[in-house]
Homo-oligomer: A and B are copies of this chain.
Amino acid sequence: MTIRTVLFDVDGTLVDSTYLHVDAWQRALVEQGVTVDAWRVHRAIGKDSALLLESLAGDRDTAWTEAASERHDAHFRQQKHRLRAFEGSRELLRAIAARGVRVVLATSAPADELALLRAAIDADDAVHAVTSADDVDAAKPDPGILNIALDRADADPAEALVVGDSVWDMLAAARAGIKSIGVLCGGIGPDELRDAGASALYADPAALLTDLDRVL
């Protein structure tokens, strides 16, 4: 089947931000009175913030969840000068667009964070459509965000491909009936991504770019 649309996760997939999110969430949780090991925070990254908080801190009321999210956002923004696209991210998006394949940024990041990420990637000319957390009530691992992304690109799941760095990206792709590729640059181990459904693995966007003829 020909791939006509590639749906990219952004944090940890195109931009080196996963570890900054781990740090921001761990600080936010401690400030809210909840101690969580960094590696457990790392494994929850990629879920939307409400689901992430539920998995790490249990059932909480809306005020608590909003306060924790606000603290995360404040810590994360303090590190925004450190946001940097992975090597090859810009070139990968442009090479895909140059083949006539639609590039969609399908993320559950808040819109203001997404603006910072897009600036770091600096390839908006190659991007056909974008989603953010504002678009869906429940983001990944619910396939909602991917379905919105497919709609925006007028794409069929069978002709689409998801590229992501987290187990949640792979699981959401499977639920939406989309083939997925995992990248290791978010720091999740290869077997974790493979077990969640990744059809292939690459170190990072630069490695995926060198193999693009086989992927598309």
- Which residues of A does B touch, CB under 8 Å? 16, 18-20, 22-23, 26, 30, 35, 37-39, 42, 82, 84, 86-87, 184-192, 204
**What is the chain B residue whose CB lies nearest that of A193?**
B189
* Contact of A184 with B19 in the complex, beta carbons under 8 Å: no
Q: What residues on B are CB-neighbors of A42 within 8 Å? A: 19, 187
B residues in contact with A26, CB < 8 Å: 19
5 residue pairs of the A-B complex, CB under 8 angstroms, read: A16-B38, A19-B26, A19-B42, A190-B191, A190-B192
Question: With a CB–CB cut-off of 8 A, which chain B residues contact A18?
Answer: 38-39
Interface residues of A, dominant DSSP: helix
How far apart sit A19 and B41, CA to CA, in the bound complex (Å)? Answer: 11
Residue in B closest to A42 when the chains form the complex, CB atoms: B187
A191 to B114, CA, bound (A): 33
Known: A39-B187, A84-B35, A189-B188. A19 touches B16 (CB 8 A): no
The 6 closest A-B pairs by CB, nearest first: A189-B189, A19-B38, A191-B191, A39-B187, A16-B37, A39-B185
Q: For A39, what are the chain B residues with a Cβ–Cβ distance below 8 Å?
A: 16, 18-19, 184-187
Q: Which residue of B lies closest to A194 (CB)?
A: B191
Q: With A and B bound together, what is the CA distance between A188 and B23 in angstroms?
A: 17
| Complexed CA–CA distance, A188 and B188 (Å) | 8
A38 to B187, CA, bound (A): 8
Q: Which of A20, A37, A184, A192 has the most CB of B within 10 A?
A: A37
Query: Which residue, A16, A20, A39, A189, has most C-beta atoms of chain B within 10 A?
Result: A39
How far is B43's CA from A204's CA once the two chains are assembled, in angstroms? 14
- Cα-based distance from A46 to B86 in the complex (angstroms): 24
Beta-carbon contact of B185 and A37 below 8 Å:
yes
User: A30 CA to B42 CA in the complex, in Å?
Assistant: 22
Distance A186 CA – B188 CA, assembled complex (angstroms): 12
Closest B residue to A19 by CB, please name it. B38
Among A16, A23, A87, A187, the most chain B Cβ lie within 10 Å of the Cβ of A187
Interchain CB contact under 8 A, B189 and A37? no
